[in-house]
Chains A and B, each alone.
Chain A
Amino acid sequence: MVKVLEMQGITKQFPRVLANDRIDFDVNQGEIHALVGENGSGKSTLMNILYGLYHADAGDIYVRGEKVQINEPRAAIDLKIGMVFQHFMLVEPLTVAENIVLGSEVRRGPFLDYKRAAEEVERLSAEYGLSIDPHAKISDLSVGLQQRVEILKALYRGAEILILDEPTAVLTPQEVDELMEVMRNLRDKGTSIVFITHKIREVLAVSDRVTVLRRGKKVGTKKTSETNEQDLAEMMVGRVVLLQVDKTPAEPGEEVLAVQSARVRDKLGTLRVNDVSLTIRSGEVLGIAGVEGNGQQELVEAIVGLTRIESGQIIFNGVDITGWSPLRIKQAGLGYVPEDRHKRGLILDYSLADNLVLGLHSEPPFIKRLGIRDDKAVQDNAERMVEEYDIRPPLPNQLVKRFSGGNQQKVVVAREFTRNPELLICSQPTRGVDIGAIEFIHEQVISQRDQGAAVLLVSAELDEILSLSDRIAVMYNGKIVTVMPAHEATEHKLGFLMLGGNLEDYQGEGGNNSVR
């Protein structure tokens, strides 16, 4: 077994986190080595160090047995290391060929030999079975194809060590299968692959060895054939995963929300939500499962009033709220935990206290007469919330950007849950949050349900959907494919439907489930 890469004692300190703590990591020639861990465990940091984007505070890197210094991507490229980033590094207005050759262009004097660049791309794509039109503009390609361009980019530079940073996060399950095929193919041709993911199933499906990181430390490296799902999960979280949330059966009451034949277009005019109807009753959780980007986000933003719906109606407690402003809907009794707390949920440069009144800031008791603020009421409110939701550190005047991800999410949850809303919409409520906060947030969601709230839960994590929901809807390509009681759903069945399969065609776990 030839070790093509060895990293020893890699340490990286960021302002408030020790991202990598004396990590050892190695890769053999022609293997797929999975690098797994929860969000924030230090996987990406380690690979960014290998690719020369970050500089390690301590530790050594050996490539093909030789000690190397990798201070910039150029050095990594010269060592035949390639990286496919989670957020693609593609220049949208340029063509596929231009993107692939960028930085290592085919020249004719000072000029770009575009014709030969395109030919080169065609040759590569034929060789690796990654078909692509070299003249297409990146902005016209699907996410799956863009990723293909990224892989070709690395191969064009002669990459022998290929880092794939969470490549499956943006793909449909079908595209994931294709990607795994590509990975196996590359491995068989001698490429060594580092496969970053936090999905255990993918690790087991494709890797030869697996290294687990937790909170910046290495937990261990194992042969994939010598481990299993439960084993890896324990290594990742450090204790047995609590998959089941304690909850009693739902006792649904009156209908709180009814969406009727809603259609929503995005800014570019693409139809994102296509004739969606759904209802949620008080005291139940409706989970929406689906691969991200199938219209869930647009549907939610339409319900909370952030985007306009093209046609259809939204009825809240019997009142047509279509076209109302977010503020008015909120005042009517909506609580909303947005998908991206940094973008939608928080003002990072505002204090904890100021964030806790966002959206409530224009109502008493926070406003006295004539639009003048009541600072004391804002402060008192913050002190109460910090106590009730265990937000740490308990400093109302601290800027929110100085809190950890889990505590930031608690700020959003505290603000949105505290008024016991009649309708609660939670979009990816536990993304990027530590296990402790996840449990806390899950408990809060169920407690809101039990107090009579109608809850709409959108999550990319099937575990979360399955453990919290009373009914589950599957969204695919802008439509609700089906709605079923939670006890009828399995991960496998949902996965099939999320790909666009029909419920009638579903033949169970062992069956031949062809989507096409």
Chain B
Amino acid sequence: MLDRLKKFPYEEVVIPILAVLLALLVGSVFILFVGENPLVAYKVLVKESLGSTRNLATTLQRSTPLIFAGLAVAFAFRAGLFNIGVEGQLYIGGFAAAWVGFTFTNLPRVIHLPLAIIAGMLGGAIWAAVPGLLKAKLGVHEVINTIMLNFIAFFLTDWLTIGPFHGNTMAPETGRVAKTAAFTRLYPPTRLNTGIYLALAAAVIVWFILWKTKLGYELRAVGLNPSAAEYGGINVAKNLVTAMAISGALAGLVGTEQILGLHNRFIQRFSPDLGFMGIAVALLGKNHPVGVIFAAVLFGALQTGSAAMDRLTAVPRELITIIQALIIFFVAAEYLIRRMIRHKGDA
């Protein structure tokens, strides 16, 4: 028991919590700025995101893509890769899932849905494998390439959506996905869907791969010290590509869930920066699947509550975007928090 307690990663938990509190504190300055009472605004935020089963369901629905996105970023991080290309990968994955969804219409559900999910994962995986390959073979840093591939993905799906696969509406979107490829809604009228189960399963699988398999041992070794990993008989290049591909597959699931669970068609530029939020989620969750789930639910709750806060108070909903950015700042600058803790200890 005592041993268990000792193993509990206090720092890994305390720092993110402090980061969130600090972000809310700075956020309250913005609330005061628009002439509202921070306590009132935050109370609305909490009540409207967690206060009822229905609100909770909406929060979970908004958390679902963030879990996938956070896992995608975290998985790459563990292998020493910074995947800021989740945004692009989710579009490619989402489009692939949509394409399977609206192209094959005579398949039974047990085949069609898994096929669409696999297509979504594959789309994301291939898109992410490219910068992985460029890093492994040519040593090009993945950050710039993933950024570039984001934009290429935007424009490519723009063209696909309003070009060859344009649906029957005036809107920039494809035709509808067949019912056999759609996720099931769990708590109508909220849009919470079976994607949440997939997200939780993904978290378990990521945990298992990273800490219980040879692949995970090798990936983390590559992330921590590629030279030693290479000498330890680990194929660094192969692992970099594998890590990016798995990260991309998780990113593809973000798009897949959004398309098959929410929109039921591919809509041009549907993602509200989910990929970038994934970075925040992964950082706040300390790149651990359990942390990612908690962080995703927090962000999901903030987003859910923000709409009501916008409606009921004078605080624009963009406050939440600001708070999310602040959380990233504070987690990233954990050195600041460490110092604050230490100074407290001195006093």
Binding site for B on A (CB under 8 A): 304, 306, 325-328, 330-331, 336, 338, 343-350, 354, 358-359, 361-362, 367, 371-373, 375
- Give Cα A358–Cα B215 distance, bound, in whole angstroms: 13
Q: With CB as the reference atom, state the residue of chain B lying closest to A301.
A: B231
Contact across chains for B231 and A348 when beta carbons are under 8 A apart: no
What is the CB-to-nearest-CB distance from B227 to chain A, in angstroms, rounded to a whole number?
A: 5
Contact across chains for A347 and B218 when beta carbons are under 8 A apart: no
Contact across chains for A371 and B214 when beta carbons are under 8 A apart: yes
What is the CB-to-nearest-CB distance from A328 to chain B, in angstroms, rounded to a whole number?
A: 8
Per a CB cutoff under 8 Å, which of B212, B213, B227, B231 touches A359? Answer: B231
Enumerate 20 A-B pairs (CB-CB under 8 Å) in ascending A order.
Answer: A304-B231, A306-B230, A326-B231, A327-B232, A336-B231, A338-B231, A343-B225, A343-B228, A344-B228, A346-B228, A349-B224, A349-B225, A350-B224, A358-B228, A359-B232, A361-B218, A362-B218, A372-B212, A372-B214, A375-B212
Q: For A343, list chain B residues within 8 Å (CB).
A: 225, 227-228
User: Is residue B20 contacting chain A, with contact meaning CB distance below 8 A?
Assistant: no
Contact across chains for B214 and A361 when beta carbons are under 8 A apart: yes
Contact across chains for B212 and A361 when beta carbons are under 8 A apart: no
Q: For A328, list chain B residues within 8 Å (CB).
A: 233
User: Is residue B235 contacting chain A, with contact meaning CB distance below 8 A?
Assistant: yes
User: Is residue B82 contacting chain A, with contact meaning CB distance below 8 A?
Assistant: no
Complex interface residues of chain B between 296 and 320 (CB less than 8 A to chain A): none
Contact across chains for B232 and A361 when beta carbons are under 8 A apart: yes
User: Is residue B294 contacting chain A, with contact meaning CB distance below 8 A?
Assistant: no
**Binary interface profile of B, 225-242, with partner A (CB < 8 Å = 1, else 0)?**
101111111110000000
What is the CB-to-nearest-CB distance from B260 to chain A, in angstroms, rounded to a whole number?
A: 29
Q: For B234, list chain A residues within 8 Å (CB).
A: 327
Q: With CB as the reference atom, state the residue of chain A lying closest to B222.
A: A347
Q: A325-B233, A326-B233, A362-B233 are in contact. Are A347 and B214 (CB under 8 A)?
A: no
User: Is residue B221 contacting chain A, with contact meaning CB distance below 8 A?
Assistant: yes
- Give Cα A350–Cα B234 distance, bound, in whole angstroms: 15
Contact across chains for A367 and B214 when beta carbons are under 8 A apart: yes
What is the CB-to-nearest-CB distance from A341 to chain B, in angstroms, rounded to a whole number?
A: 9
**Binary interface profile of B, 205-222, with partner A (CB < 8 Å = 1, else 0)?**
000000011111110110
Contact across chains for A347 and B225 when beta carbons are under 8 A apart: yes
Contact across chains for A350 and B227 when beta carbons are under 8 A apart: no
Per a CB cutoff under 8 Å, which of B217, B221, B227, B235 touches A344? Answer: B227
Contact across chains for B217 and A373 when beta carbons are under 8 A apart: yes
- Give Cα A101–Cα B88 distance, bound, in whole angstroms: 47
Binding site for A on B (CB under 8 A): 212-218, 220-221, 224-225, 227-235
- Give Cα A47–Cα B234 distance, bound, in whole angstroms: 41
Q: For A348, list chain B residues within 8 Å (CB).
A: 224-225
Q: With CB as the reference atom, state the residue of chain B lying closest to A338.
A: B231
Q: With CB as the reference atom, state the residue of chain A lying closest to B217.
A: A361
- Give Cα A430–Cα B71 distance, bound, in whole angstroms: 42
Give 16 A-B pairs besides A331-B233, A359-B232, A361-B232 with Cβ atoms closer than 8 angstroms. A325-B235, A326-B230, A326-B231, A328-B233, A330-B233, A343-B227, A345-B231, A346-B228, A347-B221, A347-B228, A349-B224, A358-B229, A358-B232, A359-B231, A372-B213, A372-B214
Q: For B218, list chain A residues within 8 Å (CB).
A: 361-362
Q: For B235, list chain A residues within 8 Å (CB).
A: 325, 327
Q: A343-B227, A347-B224, A348-B225 are in contact. Are A373 and B213 (CB under 8 A)?
A: yes
Q: For A345, list chain B residues within 8 Å (CB).
A: 228, 231
Contact across chains for B228 and A327 when beta carbons are under 8 A apart: no
Contact across chains for B213 and A371 when beta carbons are under 8 A apart: yes
Q: For A338, list chain B residues within 8 Å (CB).
A: 231
- Give Cα A345–Cα B227 distance, bound, in whole angstroms: 8
Contact across chains for A358 and B214 when beta carbons are under 8 A apart: no
- Give Cα A375–Cα B213 distance, bound, in whole angstroms: 10
- Give Cα A412–Cα B215 distance, bound, in whole angstroms: 22
What is the CB-to-nearest-CB distance from B235 to chain A, in angstroms, rounded to a whole number?
A: 7
Contact across chains for B231 and A347 when beta carbons are under 8 A apart: no
What is the CB-to-nearest-CB distance from B213 to chain A, in angstroms, rounded to a whole number?
A: 5
- Give Cα A345–Cα B230 distance, bound, in whole angstroms: 10
Q: With CB as the reference atom, state the residue of chain A lying closest to B225.
A: A347
Q: A359-B232, A361-B232 are in contact. Are A373 and B224 (CB under 8 A)?
A: no
Contact across chains for B214 and A327 when beta carbons are under 8 A apart: no
- Give Cα A375–Cα B232 distance, bound, in whole angstroms: 18
- Give Cα A347–Cα B235 distance, bound, in whole angstroms: 15
Q: For A362, list chain B residues within 8 Å (CB).
A: 214, 218, 233
Contact across chains for A306 and B231 when beta carbons are under 8 A apart: yes
Q: With CB as the reference atom, state the residue of chain B lying closest to A336.
A: B231
Q: With CB as the reference atom, state the residue of chain B lying closest to A375.
A: B212
Q: With CB as the reference atom, state the residue of chain B lying closest to A345.
A: B228
- Give Cα A4–Cα B105 distance, bound, in whole angstroms: 90
Contact across chains for A373 and B232 when beta carbons are under 8 A apart: no
- Give Cα A195–Cα B232 distance, bound, in whole angstroms: 39
- Give Cα A326–Cα B220 distance, bound, in whole angstroms: 19
- Give Cα A338–Cα B212 distance, bound, in whole angstroms: 28
Q: For B220, list chain A residues within 8 Å (CB).
A: 350
- Give Cα A416–Cα B231 distance, bound, in whole angstroms: 12
Q: For B221, list chain A residues within 8 Å (CB).
A: 347, 350, 358
Contact across chains for A373 and B212 when beta carbons are under 8 A apart: yes
- Give Cα A361–Cα B235 distance, bound, in whole angstroms: 13
What is the CB-to-nearest-CB distance from B1 to chain A, in angstroms, rounded to a whole number?
A: 17
Q: With CB as the reference atom, state the residue of chain B lying closest to A330.
A: B233
Q: A344-B227, A347-B225 are in contact. Are A359 and B233 (CB under 8 A)?
A: yes
Per a CB cutoff under 8 Å, which of A344, A349, A361, A371 touches B231? Answer: A344
- Give Cα A439–Cα B257 distance, bound, in whole angstroms: 62
- Give Cα A328–Cα B212 distance, bound, in whole angstroms: 23
Q: A325-B235, A372-B212 are in contact. Are A354 and B230 (CB under 8 A)?
A: no
Q: For A331, list chain B residues within 8 Å (CB).
A: 233
Q: For B213, list chain A residues within 8 Å (CB).
A: 371-373
Q: For A336, list chain B residues within 8 Å (CB).
A: 231
Closest 7 CB pairs of A and B: A327-B233, A358-B232, A359-B232, A371-B214, A347-B225, A344-B231, A349-B224
What is the CB-to-nearest-CB distance from B9 to chain A, in angstroms, rounded to a whole number?
A: 13
What is the CB-to-nearest-CB distance from A266 to chain B, in angstroms, rounded to a whole number?
A: 15
Q: With CB as the reference atom, state the residue of chain B lying closest to A349.
A: B224
Q: With CB as the reference atom, state the residue of chain B lying closest to A370.
A: B213
- Give Cα A343–Cα B213 distance, bound, in whole angstroms: 24
What is the CB-to-nearest-CB distance from A409 to chain B, in angstroms, rounded to a whole number?
A: 14
- Give Cα A343–Cα B215 distance, bound, in whole angstroms: 21
Q: With CB as the reference atom, state the residue of chain A lying closest to B227.
A: A343
- Give Cα A327–Cα B234 distance, bound, in whole angstroms: 7
Q: For A375, list chain B residues within 8 Å (CB).
A: 212
Q: For A349, list chain B residues within 8 Å (CB).
A: 224-225
- Give Cα A330–Cα B231 distance, bound, in whole angstroms: 10
Q: For B231, list chain A residues within 8 Å (CB).
A: 304, 306, 326, 336, 338, 344-345, 359
Q: For B233, list chain A residues within 8 Å (CB).
A: 325-328, 330-331, 359, 362
What is the CB-to-nearest-CB distance from A337 to chain B, in angstroms, rounded to a whole number?
A: 11
Pick the most buried of B218, B228, B229, B230: most chain A CB atoms within 10 A of its CB.
Answer: B228
- Give Cα A353–Cα B164 distance, bound, in whole angstroms: 56
What is the CB-to-nearest-CB distance from A393 to chain B, in angstroms, rounded to a whole number?
A: 15
Q: For B216, list chain A residues within 8 Å (CB).
A: 373
What is the CB-to-nearest-CB distance from B140 to chain A, in angstroms, rounded to a whole number?
A: 15
- Give Cα A345–Cα B221 distance, bound, in whole angstroms: 12
Q: With CB as the reference atom, state the residue of chain B lying closest to A327.
A: B233
- Give Cα A371–Cα B232 distance, bound, in whole angstroms: 16
- Give Cα A306–Cα B229 distance, bound, in whole angstroms: 11
- Give Cα A383–Cα B63 distance, bound, in whole angstroms: 43
- Give Cα A344–Cα B232 distance, bound, in whole angstroms: 8
Q: For B230, list chain A residues within 8 Å (CB).
A: 306, 326, 344
What is the CB-to-nearest-CB distance from A21 to chain B, in angstroms, rounded to a whole number?
A: 24
What is the CB-to-nearest-CB distance from B234 to chain A, in angstroms, rounded to a whole number?
A: 8
Contact across chains for B229 and A347 when beta carbons are under 8 A apart: yes
Pick the most buried of B213, B214, B232: most chain A CB atoms within 10 A of its CB.
Answer: B232
